[in-house]
Structure 1
């Protein structure tokens, strides 16, 4: 399995930054709901909530740094259980110790006394559950990225078809790209016309067909037509900057193919790439 490197790991766990920047204030609010039965909404509550939220951000960044550090020292594979155990214990201990020390310091600075006992018997117990959640997110994202990479690798190993699959009756045929003249939409149906003039009905939309074609060999003339470079012999300028696409005489298009003024420059670059 691929292990995130020092340069790629930030993207490897994406979108962890946005998730926790948004989630931590909600977590702080939920902790208040679980901890205090009588909450008075005043300026002091807002001040305490802000302090607790900033503490939460700092604790999460500490946990995040530990996870990234472990990525470089103890990969998930083949030491999966060892890595998970060390990560969970280390992040939880470090996070809880940081919160305990910072809370004690803030309590002495602002109140002149140590933190109340219920902070250790109730608050930290609730907070420890959130460290399991944070670890679950990062572990889940790691294996999701591994699965994603695996699927991408499978796709890349699939042999590329040298044509477009079509159905006719009970047969499945492969029309070579070099034998495709154009695709067009008529009465909500997409059709493929081959160089020999045969028509095939397709189940895909023109948008999805366009995604499967090489942009070097095919061009989306307008909403209804995609043409192959092999059948285009030239173009004629029309009024208002439009273009009339000229095709080989053997190809019978259902109607004249025109390119809009806005797409005309792209068509010219496609047809004459060296100009």
Structure 2
């Protein structure tokens, strides 16, 4: 699974980390002087933050592929917090030490380890919380979008793609659906055939049950496509259809599906 598209986060975190760097200065120093040294140190701190965040983001996306939240929520959150925080703080520590030796010729001050890293740890907790929130918001939004699309689909018709076009087929123009070599096709009353990007199981969920019936694993037919049926022994049926395209004249129905079919077919007479 490619997890990255759900995180529309780059612009947000570039601004967020720049703000966090400024806020850290506010917490760390009582008297802040606006000069070249402040601009230099602020720029370096922000660049370090961006580097650590990018590593964190890469880890989160990797975990989305290898350890999805749905498999084990507690384990995933725990591993994400521990690994991203450790790697992020390690990057910031290493870059801070390098900058200290380059600028001052000595190691970072003790306060960096006793105070600054503690603040960095808190920021990583906050960022992890944001990423977890983004994930569940994405899940909720995708669920709502799918629900609205399904509701719209059931109310209007079935959507198919033909080249670059999206077409809506009214249910009255659909004879049925059939599966062939793993693909799902839509057969219309005008003997046109369309390829659907949905499985037969998904199609069955999206179409009105009062109009369509799943005869077997291969065929779903509209009520108007069914002429009648005959009993063939052992409770099984054969359905006589208005054949078109790859929909044959007769389609077998198992004993388990026979009773539900007869109830569906005779609904208008009951």
TM-score (norm 1): 0.55
Matched, 1:151 2:144: yes
From 72, 88, 94, give the equivalent of 1:95: 88
SS in structure 2 of the partner of residue 122 of structure 1: helix
State the match for 1:12 in structure 2.
6
State the match for 1:104 in structure 2.
97
RMSD of equivalent CA atoms: 1.2
State the match for 1:160 in structure 2.
155
* Alpha-carbon separation, structure 2, partners of 1:77 and 1:138: 15
The correspondence of residues 1-275 of structure 1 with structure 2, limited to 5 A, is 5-6=1-2, 9-14=3-8, 16-158=9-151, 159-160=154-155
State the match for 2:183 in structure 1.
none
Quote the offset at 1:86 in angstroms. Answer: 0.1
* Alpha-carbon separation, structure 2, partners of 1:78 and 1:153: 22
Per-residue CA shift, 1:155-187, capped at 9, x if unaligned? 12222158xxxxxxxxxxxxxxxxxxxxxxxxx
What stretches of structure 2 of length at least 5 have no aligned partner?
158-270
Quote the offset at 1:10 in angstroms. Answer: 2.9
* Alpha-carbon separation, structure 1, partners of 2:18 and 2:140: 31
Paired residue total:
155
SS in structure 1 of the partner of residue 155 of structure 2: coil
Quote the offset at 1:110 in angstroms. Answer: 1.1
Per-residue CA shift, 1:63-95, capped at 9, x if unaligned? 000101111110101210000000001000111
TM-score (norm 2): 0.56
Runs of 4+ in 1 over 2 A off after TM superposition: none
Per-residue CA shift, 1:126-162, capped at 9, x if unaligned? 1111101111111101000101111112112222158
What stretches of structure 1 of length at least 5 have no aligned partner?
163-275
Quote the offset at 1:36 in angstroms. Answer: 1.0
Quote the offset at 1:24 in angstroms. Answer: 1.2
SS in structure 2 of the partner of residue 160 of structure 1: helix
